[in-house]
Each structure stands twice: as C-alpha cells, then as structure tokens.
Amino acid sequence: MCQPLPMIETAGTMGATSEVGRLRTVMLHRPGPELRRLTPRNNDQLLFDGVPWVARAQDEHDAFAQALRDRGVEVLHVDALLTEILSFPAARAELIGAAVDDPRLGATLQRAATSHLAWLSPEDLAATLIAGLAHDELRGGRGLAYEVMDRSDFVVPPLPNLLFTRDSSVWIGDEVAVTSLAMPARHRESTITAAIYTHHPRFAGVEQLYGSSLEHLEGGDVLLLSPGVIAVGVGERTTPGGAERLARRLFARGLATTVLVVPIAQQRATMHLDTIATMVDVDAMVMYPAVADSLRAWTVTAPAGVGDDADEVELTVTGPQPFVVAAATAMGIDRLRVIDTGLDPVTAEREQWDDGNNTLALAPRIAVAYERNTVTNAALEAAGIEVVAIAGSELGSGRGGPRCMSCPVQRDPL
C-alpha cells in the first residue's frame, strides 16, 4: 500500500504566463459518484443548480478530454493523481485529517471516521475523499453526533465541484497558487489540490505561492492577460484582501509587474471574472455585452525590488479606469479587442448564464466553447477565432464552462 512512486518525467517546464499560449498539459477531474450524491434536497447547498444526469455528464466530459488530446494536450486526472499520492503515509494522514476536521462530528465520530478511512486502499480512499462518506457507509459509527444524524447525512461531504479544477489552483509563471475557496462546500477541494502538488513526484520542487488558509481567492477570478499582467476579479468568491495578498506575493516573487483588480457583481450568474470575460487571442477577449462598457479596474503596482517582506511595502493603487483601457495600458498594446457578440439582451443573458463567455484557449485564436451558445460561437468565428465546440448540457448544471473545468499546468510562452 505504501510503496514509493517512481519519478515521472515531465514534458517540459511547467507553468503559464498567459491565457492563450499553446496548451501542453491540463488537469481535469472526470465527474463520478460525487455527482450521484446530489438531490433536490442538497443541490443548492452543494452549489449546483440542478441534479445532473451523471452518465451523460461523464460522456460530455470524456468528449471534452478527447478534444484536448486530439489537439496534442496531455490530460492529467485529479482522481488518478490523488490515488497515486495516497500510497504515501504523509499524504494519507494529511488528507484523512482534513476530511474529518469538521466541528459537526465531535471527537468520538472523528475517531471512528479516521479509523474507517485509514483502512481503505489508495483507490478506495481517493474515491471516498471525493464522493464523500454517508452515515450508513461508516463502519463502526458511534458517538452522539452519529446517533442523531439522519441516515442520509454525510460524515464526509462529497465534492461535486471538484469538476471545476480551475478554481482550486492557478499557475502563474512557474509557481502554483493553491487557492482559498470561499464557499464551505468547497473548502476541502484545496486540501486535495495542495496535497497533489506537495506529494506527487510530477510536481517535485514546484513552489506554492498561495494557500488555503489565506484570504479568499479563487482561480476563476484570475486571468493572465499577458506575461507579468494579471487581472483579478473581486466579488462573490474572491475578496479584495485576497487580490491584494496575491498581488503582494506576485510582486515579491517577480511573477507580475501589474495586477488589475476588477470588481464584479456579487451574484450567481457572475460568480467569477471568467464567467463574463476570457482571453481568446493575445489581444482579444470575449466579454458579456452587459458589462463590456461598465467593467472598471484598479491598477496595482509595487516599487521595484520588492522582497519577501512584501506585506510591509506600500502598494500603488490607481484608478478606476474602464477595464479594457487599463488592460491595454498594462499589456502595452494600443487596445484590447473585445469581441462584440452583437446579442440582443435576452440572448446575451441566456448565453452568459450558459457559460458562453467561459472559453478555454488552446492556442491564440483557438478556443473550446459549449456548442449550445450558437450566437456567441458565431461571433467568435466571425472574429477569426476557431471554435472547438463541445456538449455541456449536463456539465453546465454547476455553472461552469470549459475554462472552469480545466487547470492549465503547462502553456508555451507567447
């Protein structure tokens, strides 16, 4: 059970400095039994807008992964990486401890759950950490908390949102930011992601520039506009404090020269910056028409030579300016092209809700998008963007598109 893994050769230098450099390696999570835990009673709490047809969601995700492979992208799967690190005692102890670190349980039930999880094989433990552990599935359950639980309650809650791998980590340069997820239903995702980056030989030596104990920051709010220029949305999921903390760390490590902080509406339809805007070329972005003219940005910079004590450095904050103006200035280009979808307000709202603006660039002018957003996709093609269309009728029930479902691990420099 605890044999060490062989070292794995990487395909090249890991990391990313843009949203559109040719994608070489990506981390995905194929939806599994955790989606079968969703019911009309708990789907809101678990952040889904409906109860998906799991088999169809798996078929759609398999087609998404194959579309990436067909374009030469190496696909890593979270569950496989997790299973591999659970051969290591340190990783097992860390992740079991995180799974039972829940004030609902009490000391007796925590001990029982720990004992149950400790006896599982790496494969079964990985499956349980993702799909959760229900009251009736726990061997040797005991204690007050256990007795008063409903039979359908979870001792270890499932992680259906693990599907959206972009949120729990984001690569900036050659370092990875393990993020601090805002919603209680997602907190444990970051512990799994951090453990993979810490313990898996594939990521040996990789520096982690952020952590789950810091101010709330989610990867869906982080856009790599160009080398050294990062946009961070603040709203429902990422706090201004999280944006400032990330900026300080980026400046201290020489990973950015400018951070644009972009307030977005604090509502479900616009939970992340990438639900309203994503890069599709080195100088082009597809953007929800309702915010194209109103989106504002504060420009954050720091003195040259900032050291590791960046918390003590006074940052320079200017603005606000229109986001597209601030972005173009920071990127050193004449203008940032916004692809005008030309949608009527009703169609625009429908396609934004269906993640029409949440595209995944495979290279400059090549982007993956949901096939159902026909008007947005036609506008992209008219602007010279090749659209790789995928099905997503079931995958989208958690409000996430191709970008949300993918964490680029390696992109070519522009």
409/75 Cα distance (integer angstroms): 10
The gap from C-alpha 206 to its chain's centroid, in whole angstroms, comes to 18
366-370 and 360-363 as β-strands: parallel, antiparallel, unpaired? Answer: antiparallel
Three-state secondary structure of 374-386: HHHHHHHHHCCCE
Q: Which residue from 246, 252, 244 is spatially nearest to 178, judged by alpha carbons? A: 246
Residues whose CB is less than 8 angstroms from the CB of residue 409 and which lie 6 or more positions away in sequence, other chains included: 14, 15, 16, 24, 25, 26, 27, 76, 171
- Range 265-292 burial, b when 16+ CB lie within 10 A, else e: eeeeebbbbbbbbbbbbbbbbbbbbbbb
Active-site residue set: 404
State the virtual CA torsion across 304, 306, 311, 312 in degrees, nearest 10.
Answer: -80
8/30 Cα distance (integer angstroms): 22
DSSP tag of 114: H
360/20 Cα distance (integer angstroms): 8
184/186 Cα distance (integer angstroms): 5
- Range 237-249 burial, b when 16+ CB lie within 10 A, else e: bbbeebbbbbbbb
Which residues share a beta bridge with 397? none
The gap from C-alpha 263 to its chain's centroid, in whole angstroms, comes to 19
197/216 Cα distance (integer angstroms): 19
Beta carbons of 93 and 117 less than 8 angstroms apart: no
165/193 Cα distance (integer angstroms): 9
Return the number of other C-beta atoms located less than 10 Å from residue 121's C-beta: 12
45/288 Cα distance (integer angstroms): 27
Which residues share a beta bridge with 387? 367
Only one residue has tokens 């450095």, namely 313
